Amino acid sequence: MLGTGSSDGWPNPWCAKPCCTALVEAGIVRTQTSALIDRVLLVDPGAEAPRQAMRQNISLAGVRYVLVSHVHPDHLDPAFLMYRSWVTTEPLTVVGPKPVIDACKQWVQGPGVEFVTITAGRDVVLGPYRVRALPAAHEAHGEACLYAIAGPDATVLWGTDTGPWAPGVRQMLAGTTLDLVLLEETFGDTADTTGGHHNLATFATAVSQLREWGCAGPSTDIVAIHLSHHNPPPEHLYLRLRDIGARAVPDGTPIVAGGVRTSLIL
């Protein structure tokens, strides 16, 4: 996980309440949610993603696929395509719904970048990964997608940003066994989930639905991401998530998903 925070991060740098000032004093920072899978598949390249990788001593030079959920700036800063074009023409495939691809195209200079416009219900194959786009319940400018990503070692659900499962998700996940669920839980104990986000209550319901559907089992690792200052203090949040059978991890935490890996990418 490159970042695990909401768009404003947690702490929100402008917040004067203990939910944020206590974390500022403790030096605990959650930046915008982004992930790097096997060092080749970058998911949701928000503005902070390149530096998140740098601070974790991880080069992005090996990235060949970029998967984008929606066009909100915490999930996509397309300028990375220009910065990359200054140093390499190695092939790169960028996948996202139409507003994402439209936003990206103007930033490409030179050869090497391929765009794939995807919509909920469609699959795309990216090297060793089969990716299925699912509908997100989220108010974006145009379509927002979630992704089920089946790789050589594990199947991962990228579940941000979204509120309670949109119609069709259950059917599109039928028969899928998830090793890792990365599901947003933006709003903590706040009742207002305006815009299409989870709070702790709706997160718990969404997790139990995955279990009812047979998509998540005892060995499924469920990690809450996109966390904001509306959440309880970290030590309480970890206990609340434990009660749901989930956890949260700090920014920069490596997560090993699935079975024993035959080869580690170092």
| Residues binding Zn ion (CB under 5 A) | 7, 72, 74, 161
Minimum CB–partner distance for residue 136 and Zn ion (Å): 8
Minimum CB–partner distance for residue 177 and Zn ion (Å): 27
* C-beta closer to Zn ion: residue 33 or 220: 33
User: What is the SS3 assignment for 29?
Assistant: coil
Minimum CB–partner distance for residue 127 and Zn ion (Å): 26
Minimum CB–partner distance for residue 161 and Zn ion (Å): 4
* C-beta closer to Zn ion: residue 99 or 151: 99
* C-beta closer to Zn ion: residue 102 or 245: 102
Picking from 209, 199, 195, the residue whose alpha carbon sits closest to that of residue 157 is: 209
Minimum CB–partner distance for residue 138 and Zn ion (Å): 6
Furthest C-alpha separation in the chain? 51
Minimum CB–partner distance for residue 260 and Zn ion (Å): 33
* C-beta closer to Zn ion: residue 74 or 153: 74
Question: What are φ and ψ of residue 244, in 5° steps?
Answer: -90, -10
CA gap 223, 256 in Å, rounded: 12
CA gap 5, 47 in Å, rounded: 13
CA gap 263, 266 in Å, rounded: 9
CA gap 92, 90 in Å, rounded: 6
For tokens 């929606």, the residue is 70
* C-beta closer to Zn ion: residue 153 or 184: 184
* C-beta closer to Zn ion: residue 31 or 155: 31
Beta-carbon contacts of 54 under 8 Å, excluding residues fewer than 6 positions away, are none
Would the CA dihedral through 89, 94, 98, 102 be positive or negative? negative
Residue number, nearest CB to Zn ion: 72
- Residues facing 67 on adjacent strands: 43, 95
